[in-house]
Amino acid sequence: MSPMRRLRGEAPTPEWKGGYAPYDLVKELFIAVGVVALLAILLTVLFSSPDDRPSTIAQWSRQLPVDFETAAVAELGGTSGTAEYGPPYNHNAKGQHAAFLYPQKWLGVSHPINTANDYVINPLKTIPANPALESSLATYQAAPAKTQAGWDEAYAKALEKASAGADGSVKVAAGEYGPVSSMMSSLLGLAQGGGLDGDLLTSRQFFQTDYTKPLLFMADGGLLEKRAEAQHLLGDQWGMMNETGSYPGQTWLWLYTVWYQVEPFKASENADILVMLVMGVLSLAFICIPFLPGIRGIPRRVPIYRLIWREHYRSQGTPPQAS
């Protein structure tokens, strides 16, 4: 019997006068939990994402030594993506902005990173008993900024035609690189031995869980991009909508990711904040639907709405009215 009829004064459902059977609620609970647990384990084995090994700087420097040195020289010269990003890492750019909105600039630098010192010079200073390296560092730091830039650019250009040796070393043509060549060779050795991973994780926290610096360093190179391409995670593939090893991915994100594929968002350096503003406006409009005349009445005018609620309207004796 429907609740509507009970509200109109009709008699409630009659009391059951038949027999009763015992029911073990605890037993039922354990059976339900067991079945759900087994299903969860089975579905996890069949459909979960693969447990891929994490990327490390040591892995990167061994597999792609030329790419590693290319990124390291860009960090040293201040031309990498991280070095030129702006807040929250440095003051070298305004960050994402739209019109008068500069959220990154307003929040300021909360996680300062000096790419030359943090990724190259300071880690090299941790290598003990190496007079030649100490001399190279002293020479580089004592040189004028223009001279340093000349060395960095020359070595970066040489790396475009460099090759990796069987022992993981990098072979470049002879040139005027100053101390940069020996510095990069030492940094490569430190990275391949796993020392650079440890240096970049060192912080004042008791637990070393801040992976910002190593992740940004690897992002300035090509390792993460290659892994993303293999998993169809690039922006021109499935992008952030995809989940590693899963197809078709997190499809509920399509409304966000689709904007990155169309102009003017596709070519904009401020695409992130522009997309968030668009989604904010759309979300606000969705929330306000019950208060917008004309829009809020659309469901009452479509046939499917009348079909679903036909018994309700028949009991009221009045057709639905648009508002």
Helices of type H across 170-270: 180-192, 195-201, 212-219, 223-230, 254-257
Q: Do residues 108 and 87 make contact, with C-beta atoms less than 8 angstroms apart?
A: yes
User: DSSP secondary-structure letter at 259?
Assistant: G
Neighbours of 192 (CB within 10 A): 20
Please give the structure tokens belonging to residue 123. Answer: 């880690």
Neighbours of 81 (CB within 10 A): 14
- Let me know if 46 is exposed, middle or buried by CB neighbors in 10 A (0-12, 13-18, 19+): exposed
Q: Please name every residue paired with 7 in a beta bridge, in sequence order, or none if there are none.
A: none
Q: Do residues 76 and 120 make contact, with C-beta atoms less than 8 angstroms apart?
A: yes
Q: Please give the chain's pLDDT, 323 residues, in tens.
A: 444 445 555 567 778 788 888 888 999 999 999 999 999 999 888 877 777 788 999 999 999 999 999 999 999 999 999 999 999 999 999 989 999 999 999 999 999 999 999 999 999 999 999 999 999 999 999 999 999 999 999 999 999 999 999 889 999 998 899 999 999 999 999 999 999 998 898 767 777 788 899 999 999 999 999 988 888 778 777 666 666 666 666 777 888 888 888 899 988 989 999 999 999 999 998 898 888 887 777 776 766 766 777 777 777 766 555 44
CA-CA distance, 119 to 122, in Å (whole number)? 7
CA-CA distance, 246 to 248, in Å (whole number)? 6
pLDDT at 321: 55
User: DSSP secondary-structure letter at 292?
Assistant: S
- Structural domain boundaries in the chain: 57-225, 231-287
* Residue in 75, 74, 57 with CA at minimum distance from that of residue 65: 57
CA-CA distance, 70 to 158, in Å (whole number)? 10
CA-CA distance, 20 to 29, in Å (whole number)? 20
DSSP per-residue codes, 133-158? HHHHHHHHHHS-HHHHHHHHHHHHHH
* Residue in 77, 158, 81 with CA at minimum distance from that of residue 120: 77
Please give the structure tokens belonging to residue 71. Answer: 């990124």
